[in-house]
Amino acid sequence: MQNEPKYSTVVPYYIAEIYYFQGKRDQLISYAEPLIRKGNMYYESELKQLVGQAYFEKKDYPKALPYLEEYNENADEVRKEDVYQLSYTYYQTANLDKAIAGFKQLSSEKDSLGQNSMYLLGDCYLRTGQKANARNAFAYSARNSSNPKQQEISRFNYGKLSFELGYQDAAIGELTGFINKYPNSEYNKEDPPRYSCSFLPIPTITKTPWRCWTCCRKKARQCCRPIRKCLTAGLRSW
């Protein structure tokens, strides 16, 4: 059928699609790329997307990028999954401004795709020195429970950035809540313990630098958590 003139520009897409659903990515690429170079395919844009997806799933993001980019630019309708895939490809190829623009389009999504997009958006902002925007992105991700592990690290990042940007009340509330909710979190062992001592007034920090805010309020002689490795030293009264 592929050799029939009236089907010759149509059938190749369906053959490539079969390769894709069979998980035969290498066969798909070797079959479809010569046809794309030849041109004049009826479903050329969709064929390019299939090749781009095959490279994407092989984690060959530089080769996936031009195919996915062209599809998204020319498609009549682009699904949120397509936006995410292209944005993630930008992210993996260090096209961070374009990745930011793409992930921002998914900020209203309430599913795991939306949560992951906001987490990656926060990372993009951090990499480009935009801490305030990163804090907001991690807050979105932290409010989404689709992926509990991602929610955990997003909450921690939101608390850290709140401290770094001077939102002390938010930092106290978030990091104290984080300790209570995730007592065994790997992030509780982060060193150095500068975020805990940020909870204290400046005069107290200089006298008892390695106690968390909660334990200082309770006048405890030993910190309740290993989060900041805060061991005993004489506590002055508040």
Is the entire prediction scored with pTM above 0.75? Answer: yes
Question: Given this model, what pLDDT does residue 197 score?
Answer: 43
Average pLDDT over residues 115-123: 97
Q: How far apart are the first and last CA of the chain?
A: 86
Question: Given this model, what pLDDT does residue 36 score?
Answer: 92
Q: Taking Cα atoms as reference points, which of 214, 204, 210, 217 lies closest to residue 231?
A: 210
Confidence of residue 189 (pLDDT cuts 50, 70, 90): low
Phi (first) and psi of residue 103, to 5 degrees? -65, -35
The yes-or-no verdict on residue 42 having pLDDT over 50 is yes
Name the fold adopted by 1-78.
Answer: 1.25.40
Identify the residue with better confidence: 114 or 237. 114
Average pLDDT over residues 25-35: 96
Average pLDDT over residues 58-86: 95
Instruction: Give how far Cα 10 sits from Cα of 1, 16, 70, 73, 77, Å.
Output: 10, 11, 19, 22, 20
The yes-or-no verdict on residue 166 having pLDDT over 80 is yes
The yes-or-no verdict on residue 37 having pLDDT over 60 is yes
- Cβ partners under 8 Å of residue 197, min gap 6: 205, 209, 210, 211, 228
Confidence of residue 191 (pLDDT cuts 50, 70, 90): very low
As a whole number, the mean pLDDT across the chain is 81
Q: What is the CATH number of domain 93-189?
A: 1.25.40.10
Identify the residue with better confidence: 179 or 90. 90
Least confident of 57-71, 113-127, 203-217: 203-217
Q: Rounded CA gap, 35 and 44, in Å?
A: 9
Question: Given this model, what pLDDT does residue 5 score?
Answer: 56
Provide the residue ranges of all domains of the chain, joining segments of one domain with +. 1-78, 93-189, 193-238
Question: Given this model, what pLDDT does residue 187 score?
Answer: 82
Question: Given this model, what pLDDT does residue 184 score?
Answer: 86
Q: Rounded CA gap, 91 and 102, in Å?
A: 10
The yes-or-no verdict on residue 168 having pLDDT over 70 is yes
The yes-or-no verdict on residue 194 having pLDDT over 80 is no
The yes-or-no verdict on residue 175 having pLDDT over 60 is yes
The yes-or-no verdict on residue 91 having pLDDT over 50 is yes
Judge if 1-78 and 93-189 fold alike in CATH terms.
yes
Q: Rounded CA gap, 65 and 21, in Å?
A: 21
The yes-or-no verdict on residue 18 having pLDDT over 70 is yes
Question: Given this model, what pLDDT does residue 205 score?
Answer: 35
Confidence of residue 185 (pLDDT cuts 50, 70, 90): confident
